[in-house]
Amino acid sequence: MLSITKPGIFLFLLFFLAMTGCSDEMSSILADCDNCENQQPYEAALNVKLTVNEENPRVPISIYQGKYEYNNVILNDTLSQENVHYDLPVNKNYSVVARYKMGNKTVYAIDGDQVKAKNSSTYCNTNCWIVTEGNVDVRLKKQ
């Protein structure tokens, strides 16, 4: 009797994928051709979630292009809404820093994501740009 284990199945699938490669047919399945933009987008949304509360009714944020450590600030703002978005250039990484007061302390929340636009015309048979919005969560953790 043949015994198939989970590691055996995994190794078989890994071998199969390595031998067949990624075909155009498989890539067309992965491309979402129903959500195309006809023109190349130069900007897309970076969605920011933050905490607005009694102690922090207005939260200062900074948006950095690239990692926070690179100190490349592109925008400073003060927000009084918990969900906002900014239209920023595509195919770049962004970091967001929110500054909160907690008693006598200042607390920083940092998160980052990428805003992307990918040409999927090869797979969709039409001029097709797939946009992936960035999402950052700089909310305070509940204690």
What digits encode the pLDDT tens for the residues 86-102?
Answer: 999 999 999 999 999 99
The phi, psi pair for 128, rounded to 5°, reads: -140, 120
Distance CA 52, CA 29 (A): 41
H-helix segments, 3-86: 6-20, 24-30
Specify the DSSP element, H or E, that contains 122: helix 121-124
pLDDT in tens, 27-86: 444 567 888 889 999 999 999 999 999 999 999 999 999 999 999 999 999 999 999 999
> What pLDDT is stored for residue 92 in this prediction?
97
Output 6 or 117, whichever has higher pLDDT.
117
SS3 6: helix
| Range in 5-19, 39-53, 59-73, 110-124 with the lowest mean pLDDT | 5-19
